[in-house]
């Protein structure tokens, strides 16, 4: 083959190779776009959990009413495992006391994947619990947070005694006193049931704290995507009384 023929052959091949590469790139782009689109439209693990803040609170309280009446639903935990293996979309988050008598999942008659629960003695919002709630709201799309106190709270009672007597609890327990001290100090001069008043005030204080937690929670509240509420669990009958 002469040199000119060889050059003409190469030139005729190059456009074809470029066309193949372009077609391959286009195909890959379409595949990636389709994959991204599929990810975007993937249904949530529990479609029934996609609710407004108001509807979430209503569902939570209906669950508590069933629990109080002793007519809790029979939850299909076996089939829920498969749905939840790849993700979660809880309809409510609960900041609860760590008291063994308090179980939000039972108290609100909920199934797996329904509640995102953080528990600490005294149910107060510290850095870690606020960060956890931010994750629930910003990543999981949870529309409701409930701060759940309870009557006869040992953590609040211990804080009242420690502050009154000027004593220091052993180990790292003073951090629990610090967590609920603002509520105890706020009601110390009210008289009456100091423990009950402090428990209620502690719920109110932490609802306020979560409502105003910047930048994530406060923005979600302002946009109407999140509601933060408070309640007190009654040990005697399991009823949750909402705190205004």
CATH code for the domain of 147: 3.40.1050.10
* One domain, residues 116 and 22: no
Note whether 184 and 233 are same-domain residues. yes
**Statement to judge: residues 104 and 196 lie in one domain:** yes
Domains in the chain, number: 2
Residue 18: domain span = 1-42
Tokens for 128, please give them. 């870690």
Structure tokens belonging to residue 165:
């007597």
Q: Where are the beta strands (DSSP E) in 84-226?
A: 92-96, 115-119, 144-150
- For all residues of the chain together, what is the average pLDDT? 88
Q: What value does the mean pLDDT take over residues 130-144?
A: 98
Residues 171 and 222 in one domain: yes
> In terms of domains, do 101 and 136 share one?
yes
68 with 9, same domain?
A: no
Average of pLDDT values for 9-38? 44
DSSP bridge pairs for 117: 94
Residue 35 scores a pLDDT above 50: no
pTM summary value: 0.82
- Whether residues 116 and 230 share a domain: the answer is yes
């Amino acid at each position: 083959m002469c040199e000119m023929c060889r050059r003409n052959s190469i030139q005729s091949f190059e456009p074809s190779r470029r066309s193949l590469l372009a077609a391959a790139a286009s195909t890959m782009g379409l595949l990636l776009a389709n994959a991204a689109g599929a990810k975007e439209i993937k249904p949530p693990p529990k479609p029934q959990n996609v609710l407004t803040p108001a509807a979430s609170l209503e569902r939570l309280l209906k669950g508590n009413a069933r629990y109080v009446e002793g007519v809790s639903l029979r939850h299909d935990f076996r089939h829920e495992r498969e749905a939840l293996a790849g993700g979660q979309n809880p309809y409510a988050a609960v900041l609860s006391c760590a008291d063994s008598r308090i179980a939000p999942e039972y108290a609100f008659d909920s199934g797996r994947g329904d509640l995102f629960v953080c528990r600490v003695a005294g149910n107060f919002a510290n850095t870690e619990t606020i960060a956890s709630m931010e994750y629930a709201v910003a990543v999981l799309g949870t529309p409701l947070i409930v701060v759940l106190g309870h009557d006869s709270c040992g953590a609040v009672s211990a804080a009242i005694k420690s502050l009154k007597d000027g004593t220091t609890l052993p180990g790292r327990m003073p951090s629990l006193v610090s967590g609920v001290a603002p509520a105890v100090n706020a009601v110390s001069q009210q008289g009456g049931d100091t423990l009950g008043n402090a428990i209620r005030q502690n719920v109110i204080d932490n609802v306020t704290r979560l409502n105003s937690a910047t930048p994530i929670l406060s923005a979600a509240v302002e946009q109407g995507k999140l509601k933060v509420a408070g309640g007190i669990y009654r040990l005697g009958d399991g009823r949750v009384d909402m705190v205004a």
